[in-house]
Chains A and B, each alone.
Chain A
Amino acid sequence: RKEVEQDPGPFNVPEGATVAFNCTYSNSASQSFFWYRQDCRKEPKLLMSVYSSGNEDGRFTAQLNRASQYISLLIRDSKLSDSATYLCSTGKLIFGQGTTLQVKP
């Protein structure tokens, strides 16, 4: 079993839609959680750190569920510019394979 698993998608959604991704992790001792965004042919960039209490940054909300061992990313009011691959990480050099989002006009 992989340490971090993501549905690769692609998730195809219309502009304005709300979309959510989950990322499950196997190591219950994980302490740090992150979401990165990677545009086509570019490097990954930090989107959000994920805190135990959950956190929000504009249209983006990240949640941590320790009991079920997953983190989630919710994107509200999707924009065309949100089209990218979203990678989750549990720190300690562990990344998921990424979930691809395509927002259509």
Chain B
Amino acid sequence: NAGVTQTPKFRVLKTGQSMTLLCAQDMNHEYMYWYRQDPGMGLRLIHYSVGEGTTAKGEVPDGYNVSRLKKQNFLLGLESAAPSQTSVYFCASSYSDYYEQYFGPGTRLTVT
């Protein structure tokens, strides 16, 4: 059981470039989430999904898009990266929003 995995672990982008972060879980969870965490700040929810084919906006969705084509995968896209998107991105999953969340190891993204 790998739990929640994230690809890549590190990435450096130039302003205006695009990229996709991949999250995969093998726990058959319905719910999946993308958060960003900046120094001295807590987790901020970007987008989430309550099942295959569904997505919803969180607290800070601007500049990001997501897709959940398969139950086990949740993709986060940055179409035109900005320095303000420099952050650590965590993916998580859970059975429902009443249950505990399981987090991936994070992706450290720097936008120059």
Pairs A-B, 4 closest by C-beta atoms: A97-B42, A43-B103, A32-B98, A46-B100
Residues of A contacting B102 in the complex (Cβ-Cβ under 8 angstroms): 46
User: Pick the contact of B98 from A91, A95, A96 — CB < 8 Å?
Assistant: A91
Q: Is the CB of B103 within 8 A of A44?
A: yes
23 contacts between A and B (CB under 8 A): A31-B98, A32-B98, A34-B100, A42-B105, A42-B106, A43-B90, A43-B103, A43-B104, A44-B43, A44-B103, A45-B103, A49-B100, A87-B42, A89-B101, A91-B97, A91-B99, A92-B98, A93-B33, A93-B45, A93-B48, A95-B42, A97-B42, A98-B42
**B51 at the binding interface (Cβ < 8 Å):** no
With both chains docked as a complex, state the minimum distance between the C-beta of A71 and any C-beta of chain B, in angstroms.
14
A32 to B101, CA, bound (A): 12
- B3 CB to closest chain A CB (Å) equals 10
Q: Does B41 contact A (CB under 8 A)?
A: yes
- B-contacting residues of A (Cβ < 8 Å)? 8, 31-32, 34, 41-46, 49, 87, 89, 91-93, 95-98
A32 lies within 8 A of B43 (CB): no
How distant is A48 from chain B, measured CB to nearest CB, in Å?
Answer: 9
Tell yes or no: B58 within 8 A of A by CB.
Answer: yes
B41 to chain A minimum Cβ distance, whole angstroms, is 7
